Structure 1
C-alpha cells in the first residue's frame, strides 16, 4: 500500500463544499470519481475504496488555491495508470487526472508521501484569506466569484483591533460550530486586515511606452489573512462577518470583545457569504516530525 500526497486547487463556486455527499457535486466526490475512472476500480469496491483525506474541509462556495489531500492506494492499482507513459507513476496519475477532471479543479502535483504523513493531522497550520471590495474599492467584475462586495467604507483600524483579540489560544464558540465530540478551541497565530496597494501589473520601467497602466487585479481590495493550527466549522467566515460589522460601525469593539470572552453561538456573529474565502496554504513540519505531529493533534484541545 502506498500513500500519495496530492496538492490541488479549486474554484468552490460550483461545489457543495469539499466533503462527499449523495446526489451533490462536491470536490471530494468529483476527484474520487475521477480516481475510480483512471485507476479502473469499480465504485464501492471495499478492497480499494480510493478515499481522500484532506487538510481542511472547505464549505460550500469556498475556494482553495492550495489544498492538500492524501490517498492510500495499492501498488497494483497505482501501476494501472502508467500505460505507455515513460514517466514515474505519480506523474502518470497526475496527467490522467488532469485529463478527466473539470476545469474548476486543478492538480498541482502528486508525490509519494513521506513516512508518517497525514494530510489532516500532520498539518502545523492553515492560512485562509478573505477578499472584500468595499465602497472605496474599484471592483473588477472578473473577481466577482472570489470577492465579496459590501456597500460600506470599512474602518481597517477598528477591524484590526478586533482581529488582534483573536490571536492566541481561545474558545471561538461565538464564531464556530464544533464537530461531534470536538471543541471550538483553536490557536490563532496571525490575523490582520489590510488594503492591497494600488499598483500596476508590471513595473513601470517595462511599461513606460504604454498609454495606460495595466492594473493589478487585487489593487484596492480589503483582505483578511488568518493563520491558525486548525479552524472550526464556519470560524473564519464568522470572524470576517463580525469584523465587517465593527468596521462599518454597526457593532462596537466592546461587542466583539464580549463575543470573544463569552463563547456562546448566536445569530449576530454568524458566517458571512462564502465566495470571498480562499484556503491559501497548508504548512507541514519536517518529514521526521510528521508522525509525532499527527499523534499530538488528535488530542482534544483545552484552555
Structure 2
C-alpha cells in the first residue's frame, strides 16, 4: 500500500474490504518494483472460516481491475505467513534478441535488446554469483535491511523465437536486485564487461553506480515456494532472524 499511488496490494485490499465489509490486512510474499509483473504472487489475510473459496474468486473477478486477477483462494494453517514462511522466490526476465525486437503481443513483458548477447559469457558470470553473498552492489539499500541473500539459480537460455529468458531464484531478493543482476550481465553479454567484473562486485559493500538496472517490464515474479504445513512456523522464525554477512 502506498498513499496516493495505485498498487496491486491496494487494489486487492480494497476489493476484499468491499466484499467482506470489514478491514482487511494483506500480507504478500514480496514487493515488486513499479512496472514489474507477477503471475505467481502469494498473499494471505484473515478471512471468515466459512468463506466459499470459489465464490470469492468469482466475486473478486467482478471487482478487481482487468490487470489484477486472483486465480485461487485456499485455506491455510494459522502458522502460514506469505512473506516469512517462503523458502524461495522465482523470477523470469525476458529479452528479445531478434533484429525486430519483441513481438507486439509480448512487448509489455519482454525487453527489446538491440545488441549481440553472448550466452556463454553471461552464464559463466552467472555461475560465479550463485550462493550466499552480500549483494549490496546490486541492491538499493534500505535502512536496517540486510543485503545478504542466497542466490540459488541464475541461468540463461535462448528459445527458437529468439527470446532469451533469465531464470532467477533465491530465498529472497533485496530492492532492485534482480534487475541489477540482469543489467550487469547484459553488459557482460554485449562484451562491455568481463565475466570476472560481475563476480568481483560481490566484494563491494555498497551500491555500485556503474551497474545498469534493467527496465522493469521484462521481469515477472513467477512463483513462490513454501515448506510442508508442519514446517511453516519454524521457517517463519528462521526468516525473521536478521542475516549476517558470511565470513
TM-score, with structure 2 as normaliser: 0.94
Contact 1:135 1:153 in 2 (8 A): no
Within the candidate set 66, 74, 92, 1:103 is matched to 66
Structure 1: any 5+ residue segments left out of the alignment? 1-19, 42-48, 80-87, 199-218
Within the candidate set 10, 17, 21, 2:2 is matched to 21
Within the candidate set 20, 32, 40, 1:39 is matched to 20
Q: CA deviation at 1:249?
A: 1.1
How many residue pairs match? The answer is 245
* Alpha-carbon distance between aligned partners in 2 of 1:70 and 1:178, rounded to the nearest angstrom: 26
Q: Which residue of 2 aligns with 1:193?
A: 156
Does residue 279 (structure 1) correspond to residue 242 (structure 2)? The answer is: no
* Alpha-carbon distance between aligned partners in 1 of 2:98 and 2:122, rounded to the nearest angstrom: 16
Within the candidate set 30, 34, 47, 1:56 is matched to 30
Secondary structure, in 3 states, of the residue corresponding to 1:269? coil
Within the candidate set 136, 160, 174, 2:137 is matched to 174
Q: CA deviation at 1:138?
A: 6.1
Contact 2:101 2:113 in 1 (8 A): no
Contact 2:180 2:211 in 1 (8 A): yes
Q: CA deviation at 1:254?
A: 2.7
Question: Structure 1's 190 and 27: CA in aligned 2 closer, same or farther, altered over 3 A?
Answer: same
What CA deviation, in whole Å up to 9, does each residue of 1:71-98 have, x standing for no partner?
023x3xx76xxxxxxxx52222222111
Structure 2: any 5+ residue segments left out of the alignment? none
* Alpha-carbon distance between aligned partners in 1 of 2:166 and 2:60, rounded to the nearest angstrom: 33
Q: CA deviation at 1:122?
A: 0.4
Q: Which residue of 2 aligns with 1:69?
A: 43
Q: Which residue of 2 aligns with 1:13?
A: none
Mapping 1:1-303, distance limit 5 Å: 20-41=1-22, 49-73=23-47, 75=48, 89-135=52-98, 139-196=102-159, 198=160, 219-302=161-244, 303=246
Question: Structure 1's 135 and 267: CA in aligned 2 closer, same or farther, altered over 3 A?
Answer: farther
Q: CA deviation at 1:270?
A: 4.0
Secondary structure, in 3 states, of the residue corresponding to 1:37? helix
Q: CA deviation at 1:179?
A: 3.1
* Alpha-carbon distance between aligned partners in 2 of 1:291 and 1:105, rounded to the nearest angstrom: 30
Q: Which residue of 2 aligns with 1:213?
A: none
Structure number with larger C-alpha Rg:
1
* Alpha-carbon distance between aligned partners in 2 of 1:275 and 1:109, rounded to the nearest angstrom: 25
Secondary structure, in 3 states, of the residue corresponding to 1:279? strand
Secondary structure, in 3 states, of the residue corresponding to 2:199? helix
Contact 1:68 1:282 in 2 (8 A): yes
* Alpha-carbon distance between aligned partners in 1 of 2:209 and 2:238, rounded to the nearest angstrom: 34
The root-mean-square deviation of aligned C-alpha atoms, in Å, is 1.5
Secondary structure, in 3 states, of the residue corresponding to 2:54? helix
* Alpha-carbon distance between aligned partners in 2 of 1:121 and 1:136, rounded to the nearest angstrom: 43
Q: CA deviation at 1:193?
A: 0.7
Secondary structure, in 3 states, of the residue corresponding to 1:106? coil
